[in-house]
Amino acid sequence: MTRLPVQRTRFQGLTSRLGGRVAGLVRRSWRTGSLAALALLLGFFAGQNLTSYVLFASPGGRPVVVFALLLLIETLVRLRSRLVGTEPSLGWVIVDNLRIGATYAIVLEAFKLGT
């Protein structure tokens, strides 16, 4: 039985992009993957521990710390979108994973505190 040609729909484009990314993850070297995973874990560690220390040490309290972290994360996102083309370098992958890990830790802390 012959296979019908696939129509170019948004869903088909999404599945082909996702398939390309998964194939890219499999094809990259172990050094790149391990550095990306370490950056994610270090970002989580920093977000969990440093925010609690900075929260008590800052003179403005929680609103100042949260605003500073929000400003830092938003600046990183804006810089990446302007400077990086289609395929980010290893440095930008590490910065992104640090940012994602720290954001996840902060959101997890907020859920644990109930705020």
- Give 31-70 pLDDT, tens digit per residue: 888 898 899 999 999 888 877 777 777 776 666 777 777 7
How far is residue 76's CA from residue 32's CA, in Å, rounded to a whole number? 21
Report angle CA 105, 102, 16 to the nearest 5 degrees: 100
Neighbours of 54 (CB within 10 A): 13
Q: What is the mean pLDDT of residues 84-107?
A: 83
Q: Which two tokens stand for residue 69?
A: 């972290």
How far is residue 84's CA from residue 105's CA, in Å, rounded to a whole number? 25
pTM, to two decimals: 0.67
Confidence bin at 15 (pLDDT 50/70/90): confident
